[in-house]
Copies of this chain bind each other. A is one copy, B any other.
């Protein structure tokens, strides 16, 4: 049974809209994802999809792939527009549970980890998660002050990589201490040549890499706690690199020992 919803004033529609905001995430412990690419990735990765919401057109298009045991709603294109973060919505959404257990213990974590120190821009955060996935990283730690990972722009930019690698929230100082206590190096990233040229680093299989705020870079305090700080030599007149590009260059230099 697929329930049809035709009014943009329907209470469910209002709740779903709420699930695109931080307040909604806190209140309901759920968030909304948009687009078939992400919905199908979530289903394939057996993520906690609790509802599927789609226009008739989308339901027809994905009839065979949509599971029968998940509550499904048919909506109008107008409602899709209300729920969408894009100009031309595809017309398919899923409500996902935010699991309380999504915390990873830095005292046992292995592999390569990207640590985000107060990164603000949703596009940057999403792109960094997608790149960490492509680089073979184990996961991404969202440090305090980094934007939420459940807002529509972040979710879209991650392109499904949030279901491929581990994402966790954590105190970055705790992470640095816990990794270093096990002789796992943590690389900071610096904006100037007081640090070590990134191209001279010998990669290994377990490490942490910290990227910092778009304007200010990493916190000074954190920078004193890392094993080494790396910088990417700038050759032209640009003052800096976009943080997601810098993260990509560093991750694909450091990932040589990763599977």
Question: Contact residues of A with B, CB < 8 Å?
Answer: 123, 127, 130-137, 157, 159-161, 164-165, 232, 234-242, 244-249, 252, 255, 258-259
Contact = CB atoms under 8 A, between A and B. Distances in A.
* Interface-centre pick from A237, A239, A241, A259 (highest chain B CB count, 10 A): A237
B133 A236 contact: yes
A241 B130 contact: yes
A159 B248 contact: no
B134 A240 contact: yes
Given A245-B244, A252-B249, A235 B136 contact: yes
A134 B248 contact: no
Given A232-B252, A249-B252, A164 B237 contact: yes
B255 A235 contact: yes
Given A134-B234, A236-B164, A244 B244 contact: yes
* Interface-centre pick from A131, A161, A165, A234 (highest chain B CB count, 10 A): A131
A258 to B, nearest CB: 6
Nearest to A112: B235
